Structure 1
């Protein structure tokens, strides 16, 4: 595979920030060369985390840079899959919106899933900000490297990179080279994947690249049969009478309201295409342009009962809302670089994103079987995104020094804008959808805009050949406006028929709804973020650094038009990067301490009047976090590669928050009226979720050189981590993922000329049931029923690839 002019041919595979020798050699070595040259490239990985092309081992930032080869070998297909390769990183999928939320070093936001919420981990593609993780670099299509920067990146990368940033570098066209690749995979759950890319040399100054991908598999969650679970007709009549129902209005439960066929939950059906172009009319000017399309017709990820009902499979649910996703993403990215002279470069980076779609989700999770058509505590709840549309544009101009200088510097101006809209309906009925309204509402947000302006600069003084001092500063001005947003809640008018709100019904008093929240409002704030760092070489093969940096995430508006405050993070970090044995061993480590002020928590909540909305809280005072990361990569002999990553977050204590609530956690105590929500609990001093005290990832790979000149390579990777909380409520073992281990295995044969390969894979061969999120239902009597989101079960398959 060929690489763009931005990177040298030595960009190589890293696992958790370090080079795996085999992966590097594959990326950096032409197909006809022998694998024996692998060890020479361990130190030559380059990254762009400082907005310059620098060797990873000489970059005083905690960065993981994962190559295309590693992404392929580890079967990393989505943003969520990257977490197993990056220390201190976790990700969850939220079912009702089916979005991906990320956590770094214990900091993240599980509810960053609507037009209101922003992430703490910013995602960029080729330097262009993407607010929606589920649309960014769809399917990780034709990715050259995925760079994960840990720690605040507020100076160079801007707002919402509070605790880190992920920058996907796509493979760029290469002038003068015709090359390409293709691969096909098939596996259990009827999995089929196909990917292809081709580089087209159009002229001496112009080249294009076309890349395509399709990934699909059936859903993991089977449908439970309602017959045999629904009570008998006599039992239903008795339950209805006991609830005070009029026998004359009795209806039997209609089993046809339950889904028993069609697409299952947790299915994938995604496609992506990209056409990119490079125009380089001279040695001093280049223009990279890319157009990308992403299509998702899969299904959401289902909440599963932690303890299934007797006789039911774990990977199954009693489903009364069939799954549905219809989403499309469009992107245009542009980068122009002009070398004004030997020491000065001007760059203009621009992008446009549009993401739209709709979905339906079974929010009641089939946890409670109704005893009659209108009997609680069983409820029917559908969470439905009728339509959503998110548009984002950004422009960045920067001027940077090039070459060797006493002072290396970069100056920049930045502007980004968003225009978001959504309609989200929630019908909740007692018993079944035939029953009576418990509550139902519609959230209609026709226009929420964001305008963000920034100016930044960073300079590094090369004091001498071994010692450097760096300082950076960024000024950001944010403005958000909500226009015409309304929350509609059920008015309980007995004259209006009690039927679930449909997508074609516009809520009004005539259809049984009143306005519950008026969401119009404005928010504005300006913020300065900064960096101070010193780093120095230790001999020829070592680097030590110490830094203090700040990050910032914008505040904003919430349901009712109320504002919530911005959050700030100050990070103190010491790190080192070393190589030994002529580059055959690499060891990188960091230890950090974070002081987080006004940390934002958001969740769906119920207001004192019974209506619902998305509520935000700022944790008062400081949330304290400290942790460590250590990564070791080694080439043992000529044929074995080992990578070991150890990380942990021993301290992750929340500041003061007396009134934390969430409808995902039923049965929380009643809240004082002054809190603004109906149920809540004091979470002051609780531990942050998704932050294990200790985590370890170990990967091993060995090349067997066969008599015909081919290579057979087994690859084994395992991950272990201690128990972690799944929410800030810290509600016991059901609200935790216990300590666990997962393992993956693959076997690949490369033919002698390395023109094609074939292999097999097994992922999660221990078939571990790993929770990533939790919630609970309260059927009464002091009993709680718990549900969770889970990582995929055991999957396996075969794959084949070719290069030309």
Structure 2
């Protein structure tokens, strides 16, 4: 097995990355030789103000017409048109490229602290990221079935499967996080919000770019860069790439050292108690992983080629091709209380980690100005394939013999694939009128498939079969179509009323899906299920436990009503009522579940103060859910399956605040804070991920969670960032900054099971200092999670309800490093 430190970038992306590096070098040379550009032309061609250059100190300030320093105007596309953030009556967080760079954002896991009411966690067995917003999320949105509660878009193209949230974030103009239901304009699965990542676009008649490299602890190495290449007066290209890798955080514990006499005694007792006598064997220590890639390692590479074609002032076409490869490892759940003598960041591993994911995405936006209104067509295509292995027994128990004292359980994604494409046509007014309007048609389709194996053996891989199954879903399709419209009546210069409607029709099919489970056939080989075993062959001892063929159709009309009033040129208030919707569907066994709907009541305030040096935005909301969807792995009639149920409802209320303050031209302060209160409606819930008491109303184990708080919803969350810029006499500058995060205690599941199921209140900080040279190079030294806090993001338990062994996923430990780059 290859050691972690010897990992190389994914082979499939070596060629695009090499091409990108060559393009960067060529661009740098051309930039050095290019003649000076007239100042007026530079202004006309400059990127938007929320697209600060990489590594640019002080990029979050601008100079007003009267020569004063102020915060730059931020433009957002939350209403499907470009508007000022401070004039947009929506709860939206806009994170520009400089803020992403300052916070060393590499994936969605790095974004959560920057947005009020936003939480998230990595899900180890599928290697994905789940997102929670305003207390609502779906930890089980990691399968080919489940849909997320928060819709993820890249350049307006919907990313339907959760793997999309784990891809690299690189060469972005910024990220917009829209809080609250966005069903009218943004469509399906935006039940409580939508995230739109905006990639950096090519610029006509401009040669520029940047390149950055970095190192850090855990053998971290990273490189990223981009170059803008003019291809004539009407065509430009942009090449961008990124590679990030670091060793895993989780060390391997030594193989168990159990005396041979003790092993034999344990085996004899097992046989005497009715266990199958298969002949004693000593524990094979080679079955426990001792070297190679560790869990929680990163090894990701991405490249993007973008084109801008603008033959006239009226026609613009942006198109991009993006390739992503992941050869890292899943994140491991750790014992919350380590075994005596073992390190916290370690585990007894009997399944080596692996993750192999590749995706190809094409995104296109074609826009034509028709004079007074514009026509746009946005299309996207993504093809994904992947596989992975994960140690699902988590090493919580030590075997006492080869078939007693523990279980061996692996969660193996033998293969997974999905293909999706989407199309949206909009026609909208593009000049201020008495009524500003937008009309649209939307269609999206998915074709997904997966084989997911769960072998469970008594004791070790040598032991007898406990249970095992293969979930093979060869073809699951989703077709979603919608028509929508929204209009804003400008009743006066200050008073604006908005109404919107969207009709959505969903069609979902599972064709040929089967859950093949161990049938305990005496003649079948007692070996762990693996990719070489065909579970559809009766000779191998499996039977079709679940018949998953099913067909679901449904439709829903969602709506928005909003009023906004400008108290002054710099202050506005707004209030809205909106509805959200997430489609129903079918789960294992073809069992149907209903759609989820909600009504959101919201009021907001936005103000720009102190001659533009301060912004203060606040919102208050109350959400009422109906038929809130809950999903979890369960056992039904001896068969393991993924089950869905609809809770009676849920209620969520909260307050969110965001502020930015340019104290002096060299001092910048940012604040985001939230208060969230949640309550779940009537629901009796079950899950294999937790040790629960025996049911009184159902078979198996379950718990009445009616009235419980929702998970990943701390009542109080606070993020504070301060930066000071020290100008040097030679024209260079040094800018130290600190980001402080606090959040109160929060539950990690709907079961609210005590300390093991709870992350206590905590504080953490990131610090950094950036040196910026007037010669366009910079260096950035950083430390993240300075206090090395152990922050639980999800939890689980095994054993008995009375004496459960608790495990958890954790945020990254303390990391530090150095980045250096050059802008040209």
Name the TM tier (shorter chain): over 0.9
1: CA distance between counterparts of 2:69 and 2:331?
A: 42
1:763 pairs with 784, 789, 803, which one? Answer: 784
Deviation at 1:3, TM superposition (A): 11
The aligned runs of 1:364-763 (5 Å cut-off) are 364-376=393-405, 378-507=406-535, 508-607=537-636, 609-620=637-648, 622-649=649-676, 651-658=677-684, 660-670=685-695, 672=697, 675=698, 678-753=700-775, 755-763=776-784
Matched position secondary structure for 2:265: helix
1:279 aligned residue = 309
Deviation at 1:752, TM superposition (A): 2.2
2:805 pairs with 769, 785, 794, which one? Answer: 785
2: CA distance between counterparts of 1:602 and 1:589?
A: 33
8 Å CA contact 2:691–2:801 kept in 1: the answer is: no
1: CA distance between counterparts of 2:43 and 2:410?
A: 47
Distance 1:97 1:38, change over 3 A: farther
Distance 1:251 1:284, change over 3 A: same
2: CA distance between counterparts of 1:120 and 1:598?
A: 14
Superposed CA offset, 1:499-545 (max 9, x none): 11110211132100111000001000000010000001011210100
2: CA distance between counterparts of 1:738 and 1:37?
A: 48
Superposed CA offset, 1:707-748 (max 9, x none): 211110001001000000000000001100000011100100
2: CA distance between counterparts of 1:38 and 1:713?
A: 21
2: CA distance between counterparts of 1:191 and 1:38?
A: 42
Deviation at 1:431, TM superposition (A): 0.7
Superposed CA offset, 1:612-652 (max 9, x none): 011111102x3111001011211112211111111010x21
2:358 aligned residue = 328
State which drifts further: 709-718 or 134-143: 134-143
5+ residue gaps in structure 1? 15-19
Matched position secondary structure for 1:514: strand
Deviation at 1:670, TM superposition (A): 3.5
Does residue 774 (structure 1) correspond to residue 795 (structure 2)? The answer is yes
1:207 aligned residue = 236
Distance 1:361 1:625, change over 3 A: same
Does residue 291 (structure 1) correspond to residue 312 (structure 2)? The answer is no
8 Å CA contact 2:141–2:162 kept in 1: the answer is: no
2: CA distance between counterparts of 1:725 and 1:736?
A: 4
8 Å CA contact 1:271–1:294 kept in 2: the answer is: yes
8 Å CA contact 1:199–1:207 kept in 2: the answer is: yes
2:60 aligned residue = 24
Matched position secondary structure for 1:568: strand
Superposed CA offset, 1:193-246 (max 9, x none): 1001000000000000000100000000000011xx332111111111122258
2: CA distance between counterparts of 1:230 and 1:511?
A: 33
Superposed CA offset, 1:149-191 (max 9, x none): 0000000000100000000010010110000001011000000
8 Å CA contact 1:330–1:354 kept in 2: the answer is: yes
8 Å CA contact 2:506–2:553 kept in 1: the answer is: yes
1:17 aligned residue = none
Deviation at 1:136, TM superposition (A): 5.2
2:97 aligned residue = 68
2:35 aligned residue = none
2: CA distance between counterparts of 1:667 and 1:697?
A: 35
5+ residue gaps in structure 2? 1-30, 32-40
Superposed CA offset, 1:78-114 (max 9, x none): 0121101000000111110011110000000000011
8 Å CA contact 2:71–2:614 kept in 1: the answer is: no
Distance 1:3 1:744, change over 3 A: farther
8 Å CA contact 2:57–2:735 kept in 1: the answer is: no
2:19 aligned residue = none
Matched position secondary structure for 2:262: helix
Does residue 106 (structure 1) correspond to residue 135 (structure 2)? The answer is yes
Distance 1:4 1:481, change over 3 A: farther
Deviation at 1:315, TM superposition (A): 0.3
8 Å CA contact 1:701–1:716 kept in 2: the answer is: yes
2:819 pairs with 795, 799, 804, which one? Answer: 799
Superposed CA offset, 1:57-80 (max 9, x none): 000000011111111110111012
Matched position secondary structure for 2:645: strand
2: CA distance between counterparts of 1:585 and 1:781?
A: 52
Deviation at 1:667, TM superposition (A): 3.8
8 Å CA contact 1:24–1:38 kept in 2: the answer is: no
2: CA distance between counterparts of 1:328 and 1:486?
A: 25
Distance 1:7 1:399, change over 3 A: farther
* Structure 1 runs of 4+ with >4 Å offset: 1-8, 245-248
8 Å CA contact 1:125–1:136 kept in 2: the answer is: no
Distance 1:723 1:37, change over 3 A: farther
2:193 pairs with 164, 167, 170, which one? Answer: 164
Deviation at 1:37, TM superposition (A): 7.2
2:49 aligned residue = 10
Aligned residues: 778
2:291 pairs with 261, 272, 284, which one? Answer: 261
Deviation at 1:248, TM superposition (A): 7.7
Distance 1:581 1:784, change over 3 A: same
Deviation at 1:355, TM superposition (A): 1.2
Matched position secondary structure for 1:70: helix
Distance 1:4 1:661, change over 3 A: farther
8 Å CA contact 1:174–1:201 kept in 2: the answer is: yes
Matched position secondary structure for 2:147: coil
* Pairwise CA RMSD: 2.0
1: CA distance between counterparts of 2:45 and 2:178?
A: 19
1:307 aligned residue = 337
Deviation at 1:141, TM superposition (A): 1.7
2: CA distance between counterparts of 1:259 and 1:657?
A: 41
8 Å CA contact 1:4–1:171 kept in 2: the answer is: no
State which drifts further: 257-266 or 241-250: 241-250
8 Å CA contact 1:3–1:144 kept in 2: the answer is: no
2: CA distance between counterparts of 1:113 and 1:694?
A: 27
How high is the TM-score relative to the length of structure 1?
A: 0.94
2: CA distance between counterparts of 1:38 and 1:611?
A: 69
8 Å CA contact 1:21–1:641 kept in 2: the answer is: no
8 Å CA contact 1:155–1:474 kept in 2: the answer is: yes
2: CA distance between counterparts of 1:73 and 1:421?
A: 39
Deviation at 1:23, TM superposition (A): 3.8
